[in-house]
A and B are shown apart, each in its own frame.
Chain A
Amino acid sequence: MRSLVLKIFAPVVLLAVCGSQPVRAQFLHPKVKSKETTISRIVVLPAKVSVVRDSMKGPEGMAAESDELSARVEAMVAEVLSKKKHVTTLPNTAASAEADPQQKYNVADFQTKFDDLLPKIMKKRSDVKKGRFSMGDEVLNLNLEKGTDAIVFIRGEGKKLTGGKTAFRLLVGGTPAYLRLQIGVVDARNGEVLLYTDPILVGDPTTAVDRLRSALEKGFKKLPEVKAL
């Protein structure tokens, strides 16, 4: 009986203690911290966020919802950076790449390169502060608009619970519905990783819009604000 009580209440208590919007750390490259490099004009590459519906019969794909959420996260990152840090988001190269396969490949390959680098960053996120991670000068192959300071990469994974699974979780335990984002900001001139942050929100990732905004605001808290001219 005691174990049952523990299993039911421990996660609830833990959640209450942690709050509903835990935010993880953010790491800045020394050049950004010392303001040697300013991030004032960015390009946000298409976000890749995937969510699954977790039911008693196992996980189910949510491809359409994932695409919708990816677009929402992408737009919200631009909005948060603009409102809170006065960063300007420039037109996205990928959007204009529809007709040109080579440009489309360049963007796809660069996205893949970030995916390859991500596990290394995750192993030791604090090394971003030492300027250890770079994507190389291939970044210049993206041919972004002149004056672009940085490129933003967004990855995310989340889980939505069905009613049955929510009840099951209360009984047995397990992770709640959540969305975890991994955002990297890369220097558009030399490929150095300037910032890494991984905000998390607890709740249904497909509907928690305000919580998403709040998690992003906290995720970019340390990024120096651009001074108005």
Chain B
Amino acid sequence: MFPRKPTNLIVAALCFCIVFTSLSPVALAQKKTAPVEATPPPLNERFKFGEVDLEVLEQADLLDVRFERDGLVLADESANAYLRRVGQALLPRDLVLERVSWKFRALRDPQPNAFALPNGSIYVTTGLITLIDNESQLAAIIAHELTHVMRRHTYMHNRSTRKKFLTMNVMQAVGAASPLSLVGAVITVVTTVAPFIMMATIYGYSRDLEREADHKGIDMMISAEYSPEEMVNVLKVLDKDIEGENIRLFYNDHPALDERIKYLSSYLGARADKVTHQMELNRERAAYFRNMESVMRHNLQLAINAGRVRSAVYLAQRLVDFHDDSENLFWLAESYRMLGPRAPQLTEKELTNSAKKDAAKKREKRTAEEEERELLATPAGKDNWQRHQQLAEELYQRALKAENPAPVVHRGLGMLYEKLGRGSDAAAEYEKYLELSPSAVDRGRIQRRIEVLKEKLK
């Protein structure tokens, strides 16, 4: 009766405390070694709180509570402390902002994203933390978000949007009351077109704020002696589009990634005169991976749950390249097992905008099992399935031979054997898992599987 309209998305985004999602690109690479010009902190000093702003602030505070209550905030103190350290390094010393209390937290979401609430809460998703390469890239993301808060972008955007909505509604009312005449027809045409123009200005304003956050973010990175080039590199990382989901829409609240890469590269051309050596970057990368390894593993589970299996393979491979211990090998094996009949990478054809739109529609219709069945009916799907199951088995075996093998490897092998129809092997692996991990949270599920398998084997 009340179909979802595209405008509902806008509504949700605007109303709900005007969360500023901002896929922050960031790029890494080299620490600035040359002395840099001091840049004034990007504050909006003329901003004064009004009643409407206080309402937005209240919604933001409630949203923080909701994230925490709903188990969306990652309860990993060391990861959150690391984010806080990077965030504090970017903030100008002695900065006090009215009604802002800085919080830096990881959000349990496999989709790469980051956003800031106007009360000073900065969230970086586990998906983005896992995708980036080093601390400078993380700093670029956080600097972008800090700018949104310091420049009071959420409040400014909300104020601007409210005015535009009022104008649109008044125009619609005028259009509804227009007389049946030539003048009336003109009014009707104007009032019909006006909302589209208004929507374009709303998105246009949003894109301007994003551009400002990109530029000011680079200035903050330079001041904190992070490699500003990493802002560009992070955008390149995001532009990879492993899952084929970066769809260009008619209205976009962020400038396109390639456009951001262009204008930031040109901005940096004028500012970055020296870059650090690649070796320094490699050291930074290793330190970043050490700090975030547990978050990355956690994110792999989330990515697999969300069906983002191509991302899971890509990210797990990076983890194994960094450190091939039993647990990381297990995650790579899990990712290949779940990849099943899918190709590990999308083809160029599948990455065109229209193909991505079609794929998004299909994803809405088909369940993961239906997609697998469809792919298994094709020769390419069958080949992929065989190859990936074999790869998964090899990786599980490697994980078992590694130092301190993780008990979950047996569970993974059990699931693989069950799918391959090797019932008794599967039951044996499940039993080993429960023996080594008697208080596992999924004990009930695995016991049930053993019972079913044994029943079938009788």
Chain A positions within 8 Å of B, measured between CB atoms, are 1-4, 7, 18, 22, 24, 46, 50, 52-54, 56-64, 67, 97, 101-109, 111-113, 116-117, 119-120, 123-124, 132-134, 137-138, 140-141, 143, 168, 171-173, 175, 178, 180, 189, 200
Contacts and interface: CB of A to CB of B under 8 A. Distances in A.
Nearest to A137: B445
B2 A61 contact: no
10 contacts: A1-B179, A52-B16, A58-B11, A59-B14, A61-B56, A64-B62, A67-B66, A107-B71, A116-B307, A120-B366
A57 B165 contact: yes
Nearest to B306: A116
Contacts of B63: 63
B305 A112 contact: yes
Contacts of B156: none
A7 to B, nearest CB: 6
Residue of A3, A60, A105 with most chain B CB atoms under a 10 A cut-off: A60
Given A4-B176, A108-B108, A60 B15 contact: yes
B66 A133 contact: no
Given A112-B305, A116-B307, 17 more contacts: A3-B180, A58-B11, A58-B15, A58-B161, A58-B165, A60-B55, A67-B62, A103-B441, A104-B75, A120-B365, A137-B448, A140-B445, A140-B448, A143-B444, A168-B169, A168-B172, A172-B173
B177 A4 contact: yes
A63 B448 contact: no
B70 A111 contact: yes
A171 B11 contact: no
B115 to A, nearest CB: 15
Contacts of B367: 117, 120, 132-134
Interface string B1-18: 110000000011011110
Contacts of B292: none
B173 A180 contact: no
Contact of B173 (A3, A62, A133, A168): A168
B166 interface: yes
A168 B165 CA distance: 13
B220 interface: no
Contacts of A111: 70
What is the predominant secondary structure among interface residues of chain A facing chain B?
helix
Given A63-B66, A108-B71, A141-B444, A58 B305 contact: no
B402 interface: no
Interface string B47-72: 00000000110110011001000111
Given A4-B177, A58-B165, A106 B172 contact: no
A25 to B, nearest CB: 12
B302 interface: yes
**Residue with the highest number of chain B CB atoms closer than 10 Å, among A56, A58, A63:** A58
Contacts of A168: 169, 172-173
Interface string B421-458: 00000000000000000000110110011000000000
A106 B161 CA distance: 38
A114 B444 CA distance: 21
